[in-house]
Amino acid sequence: MRPIDYVVKLIIITVFISGPIIKAQEKNKDSLTTTWELLKYDGVSAFGGLKKTYSQPIRWQKDDFLTAGAIVTGTAVLYIFDDEANEWFRNQEDDVPMFIQDFGWYYGSPQNNYAVNGAVYLYGLFTRNEKVRRTGVLMISAATTAGIIQSILKTAVGRARPKEGAGKGDFKPFSSEPNYHSFPSGHTILSFTTAYALSKQFENPFVKAGILGVGLIPPASRLWEGAHWFTDVGLSLALSVLVVDSIDNYLKRERDYGKNEIEGISWNFQVGLGRIGITGRF
C-alpha cells in the first residue's frame, strides 16, 4: 500500500474516533469571530504551550524533581535489560503481520503524524467547535514541542542503533550518521504524544485503552526492527506524557476554550429474550 493511502486512512480514522468529542460539545459561542481570528488565537495557544513546557524546569517544585528522578532511575533500570529486550523483540518480528509493521512505520512518521493532527484541528476550526479545536491545538503543540526535544537529543547523544551491530553503550555524540541517532525514538514520541493527547479527551477507560494501544504500535515496531533500544522507547514514552500534560494544563489555566470537562461515552449492557449486546451513547 502506498504511503499516501495510509495518510488518508489515518485521517479518516482519527476524525471518526473524534466524533464523540464533536457531538458532545457546543460550538463556539461567538459566531461573529472570524475563522482567521480563531486561527491566530490557536497559533498563540500552540506556541504558548511550547514556551511553557520549555520554561517549566525553572519553576519545578519538589514533586517535579521526584518525578524527574523516577524517570532517570527507570531508564537506568531498563538499560540493564537492553540487550535481552532487544533480542526478544527482534525474534518476534517474523510473527508480526506486515500491515501492523507498516502501520507502525507510517503512523510514527512526521508527515503522517502531522496530517492526522492537522485533520483534527481543521475539523474543529471549520466547524467552530471549541473542544475539537483545543484537542487539535494540544496535539500539534505537543508533537512540535516533543519533536524538537527528540531531534536535539538524537544528535547530541549519538547512540548506536541495535541493528548497527554495536553495543548498547556505543555512543558518537553529535554524529551525523543516522545509525547513531537511536536515543530517543522519534516515532515513539510522535505517535504516543498524539495518542495520549487524544485519549485525554475521553473518560471511558476502554476508549482510552484503545487509543493508547494504537499509539503503542509504532514504538513496538521500532523495537521489532532493531531501530531502537528498550531504553530509547521507555524514555520517549515518559517524555510524551510530560509534554502533553504540561501543555494540557497550560491550555486549561491560561487559554479560553470553554468548559474543560468533556462528556464521556456511556455504555449500556443489554440482555433480553434471544438477544444480548452493548450499546454506546455519544
pLDDT at 164: 80
pLDDT at 189: 94
pLDDT at 263: 42
- Lowest-pLDDT range, 19-23, 60-64, 81-85, 215-219? 19-23
Band of residue 165 on the pLDDT scale cut at 50, 70, 90: confident
Scanning the structure block, which residue is given the C-alpha cell 449500556?
268
Residues 83-100 have a mean pLDDT of 90
Residues 187-202 have a mean pLDDT of 93
Band of residue 259 on the pLDDT scale cut at 50, 70, 90: low
DSSP H/E element including 271: strand 266-272
Closest residue by Cα to residue 211 from 11, 2, 12, 13: 13
Residues 65-69 have a mean pLDDT of 91
Residues 249-258 have a mean pLDDT of 90
Whether the model pTM is above 0.95: no
Band of residue 32 on the pLDDT scale cut at 50, 70, 90: low
Residues 55-62 have a mean pLDDT of 88
HEC per residue, 54-109: HHHHHHCCHHHHHHHHHHHHHHHHHHHCHHHHHHHHHHHHHHCCHHHHHHHHHHHC
pLDDT at 99: 87
Domains annotated for the chain, with CATH where assigned, are 3-281 (1.20.144)
Closest residue by Cα to residue 18 from 207, 144, 269, 187: 207
The alpha carbon torsion through 19, 23, 29, 33 (nearest 10 deg) reads: 30
In the predicted structure, residue 26 carries a pLDDT above the cut 90: no
Asked whether the bond before 184 is cis by omega within 30 degrees of 0, the reply is yes
Closest residue by Cα to residue 86 from 167, 162, 169: 162
Residues 97-110 have a mean pLDDT of 87
pLDDT at 4: 45
Residues 60-72 have a mean pLDDT of 90
Residues 211-223 have a mean pLDDT of 93
pLDDT at 147: 92
What percent of the chain stands above pLDDT 70?
Answer: 80
If you average pLDDT over every residue of the chain, what do you get? 83
In the predicted structure, residue 13 carries a pLDDT above the cut 80: no
